[in-house]
Structure 1
């Protein structure tokens, strides 16, 4: 496991299949949305989130004129664009190594709808470019090892520098019931996802995100092909294949690694959903994945199964039960179970998240036997302004497997996010 790359990163199946413009939104059942099957970090969804009216504490939108101008450009040309800047910092109550960690990510994203831009079966280019940088010696993506924890307290905040996370053609078919992508894809965004999975506005710890910490680093900016959609109004399936050796900091090298080495990540997911905008709120799914050994990176292959059930109650409470199991694959855990809830009183408002995880360290990843770990996380996302969020958090690492001298480590976290 490489300490300065994303640790067991949220792995993915090969199709955009998350519909939530905010981690919890009041969502009606019924007809499919006009842009269905799009993950929370998909550029289309990010653009929709930015347009959504927020129940912000100070009731101020300092970028109202800018947003109106952007909307006008999109309406005239089909070209959308936006960005955000997110910073994360942690301080540990105890650590055999560094006890603080901080990092930031600047993102530019958007799409250009070129086929049927204002109707069904739209097709177009999708892009997302980032700069990831650290403020401390150890970025949050590697902070787990510093405090003796077998896992990722925050998986995506590393120091990669400039990277291309997405550059692909996205095409809808069958009156928007099916979607396909070809090109360089963000494979973290649409496999084993639920409404609280995004590290930009949901839980920090990978145990409560895609893969439940049972999968190793799976690259974004990976050349791949994916297809998925609704089999019925309530049953969907997704499948795909992508380059397991991709390097998003040198994205076009993925052509060579995909077609010459052909070391790939393959997945199949089948799920049952409430339909419409409840796609990944009222959701139950099972996903199977397989990862080849990588000649390029030396990464270990493996396979595994993920399962998830989430349910939106009273339009305010999103409860979940999720788990994963892996055979090799270089993930931190070979078995993991997570449960918890998120609470949002009104759409676009403040969000409370509470989660508890049990994990058994992967004996193929770590050379010595390690005890089971327990992880708890609590965060409260404050929507201060229309374009600014502040999220304090607290993680409890119980019996950290790589720090046997401590029975308990607390991580105090703070995340800020500005959208524009």
Structure 2
């Protein structure tokens, strides 16, 4: 989402942009994209994460090598493309390599730890989306990073459902007369899914008309099957039922995601580790009241009780209390709904694009290019 929205905003501002991505032959993005796209074929799916990472780096390196002279700036959004682009640059390509570090994963194998570290120290310029990660990269790796904010397109989520469609969606998850919580990101450790399930059980146990939680997403390059199965196997012991209290919607279309934001009563996002929290901005833009964890990066742009209810990270009791407030305190819900669109409006993709253009122009200036030359040069993201 960040890549596509940024690319289109850069193009609208007059930049020449190409998106480079990996996918199976004939693969397309989840939506149409207005900028040129070049696809690099993915290698066969490997059994382990380590094997997948390094085989994808090799495939991306081979693909980028064929484009090495096509761009002045290559802007990577992840470890795989950063490592690949660094290899192509070091082999003689003349482009300037920029990398946005959205967050740092907690890998357990030394090979992946080293790979992630190299993907941060090898680029020519590092960007981050929050002060938290700027400070961490400086402290942990001695890397100086510039901050560029994330963005949201509020009109994308300003969806008004007619009565029939609203009833259809809520009926699909059994929420005709029940409070409907929504979360985005699937079931994985970084999203705090275990704590969310435990909190849901506590909310259910405290009232006669129990709520329902719908989970959107779940597709990931990493393999969270063991964690997911462990979380789902805990449902019965918590007094919850899959398909009744917890609904897994999986991957949905862009249009349907906006509809789920419109159909839900509240949004819950108890992450334990995030680079920013783009889904919170999307929910706020849709006018949904938000309950989130109080991790440092969320507190950079959320004010407790004004923009969201912030709960203690990793504590189901605190999360359950925050979730219950959305049911029990109509005035709180109205206040959060009112503040949400104003919060989202402060973080537009046009603002994000302007921050990037300033950085690109400083790179061009250092390389002796004029602003006019930069505007007609190619940027790859």
Normalising by structure 1, what TM-score? 0.24
Q: Pick the structure with more helix per residue.
A: 2
Q: Decide which structure has the larger Cα Rg and report it.
A: 2
Normalising by structure 2, what TM-score? 0.26
Q: Pick the structure with more strand per residue.
A: 1
